[in-house]
Amino acid sequence: MLAAALDLAAQGWAVLPCLHADGIDPRNPAKEAKAPWLTHGFHEASRDPEVIRSWWARWPHALIGAPVPESLLVLDVDPRNGGSVAELERVLGDLPPTLTVTSGRGDGGVHLYFLRPVGPVTSTRLPAGIDLKASGYCIVPPSLHPETGRPYVWNDLLPVALPPSALAVLRTAPARARRQAVPGVGFRSSRFAGLITTVYTAAAGTRNNTLHWAACRAADDDAPAQVFDDLAAAAVATGLPEVEARRTIESARRRTEGVAS
């Protein structure tokens, strides 16, 4: 893993160490596999060989995480939530072969890397089980999947541009996902309105990370269940699938409870 992390850094990818199994962080036994070991998460990713060596000396079995480069975006296909490449292409049209990571889970999950287009894109028209990542991080090869022990795998292609037909979909929000004139109106939790509005106005590609951060802050403040319902509603209003929003919130609550204990 160290050799692979150093090789990626030499090619210009920032990397970070991520947990290879649930509950192995003694400071936070509820922390999930694939979460960053680092206090500030993917924001601490580095290309510095000495920093990378120190990380893998400390955590030799760590998975390799890599922030999504500014020049790229990722279409993340997760079959556990109903995603498939076939369903993605039903919505976007045929996609050209591009740089791809195949998950070690072995269920058909992939990360499709494309050149980032000029201008904003949105995931509101993507089907369930597919997310658009323009920020955050992905697990990259040759990391071993925490559940199967099988490696993530690159293909041998370079990232290419999305076709115009796909960009047209990613730049158009459906009418049902357009927001109300006043963000936050209709949500009931006045004390936590700032967190809810932050989720409600999160930019495309940052929604999951923003929701997780907001749910952690709410859990830190012992927010009532209603607040988490409102956070989920705000996320769904931006186009995030409800099952994904609920899973993200539950993950944040478990992680916070682990820190507290």
136 by DSSP, 3-state: which? coil
The more confident residue out of 176 and 225 is 225
The Cα 53–Cα 70 span in angstroms is 24
116 by DSSP, 3-state: which? coil
Mean pLDDT of 219-224: 81
What pLDDT is recorded for position 240? 78
CA 196 vs. chain centroid, Å, equals: 19
pLDDT band at 200 (very low <50, low <70, confident <90, very high): confident
CA 48 vs. chain centroid, Å, equals: 24
Most confident of 94-98, 176-180, 184-188, 215-219: 94-98
The Cα 214–Cα 123 span in angstroms is 20
- Residue keyed to tokens 């999951």: 208
Closest CA to 74 of 172, 204, 203: 204
What pLDDT is recorded for position 29? 66
Two tokens at 52? 């990378």
The Cα 12–Cα 8 span in angstroms is 7
95 by DSSP, 3-state: which? coil
The more confident residue out of 184 and 55 is 55
Predicted TM-score (pTM) of this structure: 0.67
* Number of other residues whose CB lies within 10 A of the CB of residue 141: 17
User: Per DSSP, what are the bridge partners of residue 133?
Assistant: 74
- Residue keyed to tokens 């041998």: 156
Two tokens at 181? 């004139």
What pLDDT is recorded for position 193? 79
What pLDDT is recorded for position 78? 92
Over residues 15-31, the pLDDT tens digits come to 999 998 877 777 766 66
26 by DSSP, 3-state: which? coil
HSE-CB at 219 with a 13 A cutoff on CA atoms is 19
